[in-house]
Amino acid sequence: MNNWVRENLWRHILAIAICLFSLFPLYLVVLSSLSTGGSLHLTSFVPTEISFNNFKYLFSSPKIPYLHWVQNSLVIASTVAISSVVIGAASAFAFSRLKFKGKRFGIRLLLLVQMFPAILALSAVYVIMERVYKFAPSIGLGSQAGLILVYLGGSMGVNIWLLKGFVDSIPAELDEAAKIDGASAVQTYWLIFIPLATPVLAVVCLLSFIGTFNEFILARLFLVEMNGRTVAVGLQQFIGGQYSQNWGPFAAGSILASIPIVIIFLSLQKYIVNGLTAGSVKG
């Protein structure tokens, strides 16, 4: 017994303490989403009364088009995730499996350029899209389509790089065998590579979904219209400057928006951790 205490007690104490630290803000949000008051104020650790008014408010108030925001986030994030994987997978396949002139230069360029944080080019992207707006307002500054294009293009470097890492880890024997049997590169890609890579592509797709869902600053610059905002921008603007009043609905809204992301994340934990060690950092 004495031995157990010496060996394990500190482990439990530390783990419990840090677990409390982890849970504290989350617990607080749940608490205030169910409370009637409107702040992240702690009156007691146990709720005295439970009310769903904040959730109701979220879906009925004309001041917060919450459902629009959720819909926008889902549409933007899934469009970006799917398109970037479709486009990126083909590029990654070429960079990983095919031989061509300039491949090494291409890989190095990708590696270097993906270090240029997208946010640094923000003013450039802004000015470019402002000009695009002049001749094609539907894909320029202020439009969701424009934002999708910017996300898609901006993530291309990182995504090709990330996908290439995954593709490299898929054994090459099968597609070499196919090649010997006379299959063209296009056939190898569709008939051998894609079925093999589907689970990996799905993971990258979900990661890209989470990343886009989390993106804030471009969305903030691009989406000015109330109904056109994403959840992140909408909720941030909603509480901006008036913490005391709007925290209840904010808490409710952020819980609802976070649940799917948390579920995706936890179910993909294993892959994400592998991806992390490959050198990517979640935003």
Partner 1 sequence: MSGFMRGNVALMGKIAVLAMITAVLSLLTQHAFVQKEYAIGSFILFAILALNFTYLTKFSIPLKFFAPGILFFIAFVIAPIIFTLSMSTYHYQTGNILGKDESTAQVLALGAEPDGAGTTFDINIGETPSGEYAILVSDIANNKFFISTKDKRTEVPTSGLTLNADGVATAAPGFALISAEKLSANDAYSKVRYYFDGKYYIAIEGLNVGAVFQQSLSYDAASKSIKNVVTGAIYKDNGRGNWAKVGAPDEMLTPGWRAPVWFENYTKLLSDPQVRTPLIKVFIWTVIFAGMSVLTTFALGLLLALALNRKIRGRRIYRSILILPYAMPSVMSILIWAGMFDTEFGAINNILHTHIAWFSDANYARGAVLLVNLWLGFPYFYLICSGSLQAIPAELQEAAAIDGANPRQIFRKITLPLLLQILSPLLIASFAFNFNNFNLIYLLTGGGPRETLDGQIAGATDILISYTYQIAFGNNVQDFGLASAISVLIFVLVASISMYGLKKSKVMETFG
- How many angstroms separate the CA atoms of 140 and 134, rounded? 8
Q: What is the dihedral of CA 17, 23, 29, 30, to 10 degrees?
A: -120
CA angle, 46 as apex, 41 and 47 as ends, to 5°? 70
Q: Does 66 bind partner 1 (CB under 8 A)?
A: no
Q: Taking the complex as a whole, how short is the minimal distance between the CB of residue 116 and partner 1, in angstroms?
A: 5
Q: Measured from the CB atom, is 163 or 228 closer to partner 1?
A: 163
Q: Taking the complex as a whole, how short is the minimal distance between the CB of residue 144 and partner 1, in angstroms?
A: 16
- Identify the three-state secondary structure at position 226: helix
- CA atoms in the 13 A half-sphere facing the CB of 95: 25
Q: Measured from the CB atom, is 145 or 226 closer to partner 1?
A: 145
Q: Measured from the CB atom, is 15 or 226 closer to partner 1?
A: 15
- Identify the three-state secondary structure at position 237: helix
DSSP 228: G
Pattern 70-109, binding to partner 1, x per CB under 8 A?
A: -----------------xx-xx-xxx--xxx--xx--xx-
User: Within its chain, how far is the Cα of 87 from the centroid?
Assistant: 18
Candidate ranges 35-43, 48-56, 59-67, 198-206; the one touching partner 1 (CB under 8 A): 35-43
Q: Does 67 bind partner 1 (CB under 8 A)?
A: no
Q: Which of 177, 224, 226, 273 binds partner 1 (CB under 8 A)?
A: 273
Site residues for partner 1, 118-137, by CB under 8 A, read: 118-128, 131-132, 134-136
Site residues for partner 1, 207-266, by CB under 8 A, read: 210, 213-214, 216-217, 221, 232, 235-236, 239, 243-244, 247, 250-251, 254, 257-258, 261-262, 265-266
Q: Which of 75, 177, 191, 226 binds partner 1 (CB under 8 A)?
A: 191
> Given the structure tokens 């990330």, which residue do they identify?
162
Q: Measured from the CB atom, is 50 or 111 closer to partner 1?
A: 111
Q: Does 29 bind partner 1 (CB under 8 A)?
A: yes
Closest CA to 158 of 114, 122, 125, 117: 114
Q: Taking the complex as a whole, how short is the minimal distance between the CB of residue 32 and partner 1, in angstroms?
A: 8
Say how many residues touch partner 1, by CB under 8 A.
103
- How many angstroms separate the CA atoms of 65 and 211, rounded? 23
**Residue 143: which residues within 8 A CB-CB, separation 6 or more?**
133, 137, 222
Are the C-beta atoms of residues 196 and 185 closer than 8 Å to each other? no
- How many angstroms separate the CA atoms of 193 and 138, rounded? 36
Site residues for partner 1, 135-164, by CB under 8 A, read: 135-136, 149-150, 152-154, 156-157, 160
Q: Which of 5, 12, 49, 60 binds partner 1 (CB under 8 A)?
A: 12
